Copies of this chain bind each other. A is one copy, B any other.
């Protein structure tokens, strides 16, 4: 774990159809469906509004200020993958720009999730290549120290194992371990079905207090109303 200088070529990827279903549910629903674990920290933001992606993780462990391993990772990308990159120390440099995005896209990558900075965001936005990052910075990087590809990494506070399903949208980024993905997709769909009916009721003025039966527990907890 946290090995440096290694590229694992054969990783077991989560199921593509499950990834698609989870993506359709969105991060907030998926995170609930998982029991509220697996969310990256909220400083991870999409470079453009409305960005959405779901896919299987190719992980990259980067050195600070050094994007060499993103080039190594490109070769390991298969269509439907999302590259997820952590760094061994805090860094806001711009590791990724339009050239790497062109390469990643040509290899079939759906997105980049990086716990550092990116650049060329105007061009990335025009290409509609979505990136979730900690920073935007014109600062470039060198190519001199080895990291790894497809080892377990920590990205923005979340553990990511190669092949995990990653779901990202305007609300953030959630990591779904492969073994939990099918169950999470079922639970997420159930939540959505449930929410649709509730939305209609609430739109008609029904209070959540009544719809969820909260009045009694609130009273038991001691809530007082004062006129």
* Chain A interfacial positions (CB closer than 8 Å to B): 1-2, 4-10, 26-28, 30-32, 35-39, 41-42, 45, 48-50, 61, 63-65, 68, 71-72, 74-75, 88-94, 97-100, 102-103, 105-107, 117, 119-122, 125, 135-140, 142-146, 152, 154, 157-159, 161, 169-172, 174, 177, 195, 198-199, 202-209, 212, 214, 218, 221-227
Chain B residues lying within 8 Å of A209, measured Cβ to Cβ, are 71-72, 74-75
Question: A4 near B205 (CB under 8 angstroms)?
Answer: no
Q: How far is B137's CA from A220's CA once the two chains are assembled, in angstroms?
A: 30
Q: How far is B92's CA from A47's CA once the two chains are assembled, in angstroms?
A: 20
In the assembled complex, the CB of A54 is this many whole angstroms from the nearest CB of chain B, namely 13
In the assembled complex, the CB of A40 is this many whole angstroms from the nearest CB of chain B, namely 9
Question: B146 near A212 (CB under 8 angstroms)?
Answer: no
Chain B residues lying within 8 Å of A88, measured Cβ to Cβ, are 36-37, 39, 139
Chain B residues lying within 8 Å of A93, measured Cβ to Cβ, are 64, 89
Q: How far is B136's CA from A169's CA once the two chains are assembled, in angstroms?
A: 11
The answer to whether residues A172 and B223 also contact, given A103-B207, A159-B154 and a CB cut-off of 8 A, is no
Chain B residues lying within 8 Å of A204, measured Cβ to Cβ, are 106
Chain B residues lying within 8 Å of A64, measured Cβ to Cβ, are 64-65, 91, 93
Q: How far is B158's CA from A89's CA once the two chains are assembled, in angstroms?
A: 10
In the assembled complex, the CB of A166 is this many whole angstroms from the nearest CB of chain B, namely 13
Chain B residues lying within 8 Å of A169, measured Cβ to Cβ, are 122
Chain B residues lying within 8 Å of A27, measured Cβ to Cβ, are 119, 138
- Most chain B CB neighbours (cut-off 10 Å) among A1, A120, A212: A1
Question: B94 near A5 (CB under 8 angstroms)?
Answer: no
In the assembled complex, the CB of A196 is this many whole angstroms from the nearest CB of chain B, namely 10
Chain B residues lying within 8 Å of A35, measured Cβ to Cβ, are 4
Question: B199 near A89 (CB under 8 angstroms)?
Answer: no
Chain B residues lying within 8 Å of A161, measured Cβ to Cβ, are 1
In the assembled complex, the CB of A165 is this many whole angstroms from the nearest CB of chain B, namely 13
Question: B222 near A146 (CB under 8 angstroms)?
Answer: yes
Chain B residues lying within 8 Å of A75, measured Cβ to Cβ, are 207, 209
- Most chain B CB neighbours (cut-off 10 Å) among A31, A99, A103: A103
